[in-house]
Every structure is written in structure tokens, then in C-alpha cells.
Amino acid sequence: MRRLLTLLSSVLLPILLTAQPDPDQRFAAFAYAGPNFAQVDGDYYSGYNKFGMRFGVGAHVLGTPKWYTSIGLGFAQGGARPGRSEKYRRGNSTINLRINTVEVPLLFNYRLGDKTAYTAKSNFKLYRSIVLHLGVALSRVTGTSFSRTGSANQLPIKENFVAVEDSFVNTDMYWIFGATVQLTNTTGVYFQHGKSVFGLYRPGDVGLEQVLPLYPYYLNLGVRYVLY
């Protein structure tokens, strides 16, 4: 086992620590994964109480050393969950919502480092600088589930968003912004914040006096790895 670990380290560590794009390279693969902290604007719960995971793969389209675009395919878990004080205020009658989605993130990425520091002479410092992300994600709900504490009938009608489950919209778009702190040329720790544009539920002619529009949002922290 020790010999196997030594062999893997000797092969993988040079790749993880020194990999960088070729000047003529136009594409690079990447993967991302990390915990997702979510909530739904309109559910009368605050914070980022619903825990899940978000992960995926994709490709960078390399423009210049300073900027590039990316497209991905991923899976994300979101939803709604009350905090302890919100449970207390509602007499322990609450709703816990899980939303599973498939997403296609489309991002513009910008490196903050020196634009000239992308060669071996500068030790590729540009690729270890902070990267800003801005874009959208097209999403499709693949499933929802509910769990309850107490009785949903005891909730005010505006807070009983289970009552409109049949009207949930499966296709949506999210605004996304965030940043990555690069640890090596290929590996970084990132955060991204996303919020629904069109909403999981749109009242239409029903009116806001019943259930409010529902706009999921999330804060995602994780690790990104680029394979040049």
C-alpha cells in the first residue's frame, strides 16, 4: 500500500501543482463540488438553512489569459427549511422542502492577477490569482419532496406553499456571481451565490393574497479543479 501511495503521489502531485494551459490551448475541462446552503424567497423563512450538495463538470473556453467563459452540467440540491426561532413562532408547525435540479451554468470568468504573468518566466502567477464569476444557470427541477412538523393546516395560508405544489414551474434560470481563490494552478476554493430569476411558483391570476411567488436561492462553497 505504501508503495502504491508513493507511486500515485509521484504521478499526480506534479500535475496538481504545476499544470498550466498551453499558450495555444483553447479549451480546458473542469469539475466542481461542495455543500449548498439554500432557502426560498417567499416561504417566510430566512437564512440559508437547507443543506444539500452541488457538483458538476464542464469546459472552459479560453479567451485570453485574463478571461474565459465556461459551460457546465451539474446537479444541485436546494429547498426551504425553517430555523429554530421560526419553528417556535409557528407553534412547531413548519414545512421542509427539498428541490433537486439539473443545471447548465454559463459563466464569464475574470482573473484579477497581472495579465503578463502567464508564462513559465513569471511562474504562471496569473493562474493562481483570484477569479471572479458572473453569469446564469439554466435549471430543470427533477424532483421535490416535503416533510412536515406539526400540522400544515395550522399555518397561515400564505405560508403553506405545499398547497401550490401542483403549480410549481420546473424550468428556471438563476443569476450567479462568485469568486475562486486559487490554491494552485489547477485547484481552487470557490463560493457562488445564485437566485432564481423566474421563480419556482408564479401566482399568475391567483393573486398575492394566497401564496407568495417562490424564488429559490443558495450559497455554494466548494472546490474547483481544472484539467489543462
Determine whether 139 is exposed, middle or buried from the number of CB atoms within 10 Å of its CB (0-12, 13-18, 19+): buried
Residues of the chain above pLDDT 70, percent: 84
Beta strand ranges found along 18-151 (DSSP E)? 27-41, 50-62, 67-80, 94-111, 131-149
Determine contact, residues 144/150, Cβ cutoff 8 Å.
no
User: What are the tens digits of pLDDT across the range 117-175?
Assistant: 777 777 778 888 999 999 999 999 999 998 877 776 667 666 777 778 888 899 999 99
Fold of 29-227: Porin (2.40.160)
Q: In the predicted model, what is the mean pLDDT of residues 182-196?
A: 94
Task: Look at 205 and 123; give whichever has higher pLDDT.
Answer: 123
- Give the contacts of 45 (CB within 8 A, at least 6 positions apart): 39, 80, 81, 82, 83, 86
Q: What pLDDT, in 10s, does the model give residues 126-138?
A: 888 999 999 999 9
Do 197 and 173 form a contact (C-beta atoms < 8 A)? yes
Sign of CA dihedral 109, 114, 118, 120: negative
In the block, cell 438563476 appears at 174
Say what the pLDDT of residue 20 is.
61
Cα 55 from Cα 101, distance rounded (Å): 11
The C-alpha cell at 159 is 405560508
- 187 pLDDT band, cuts 50/70/90, is very high
pTM above the 0.85 mark? Answer: no
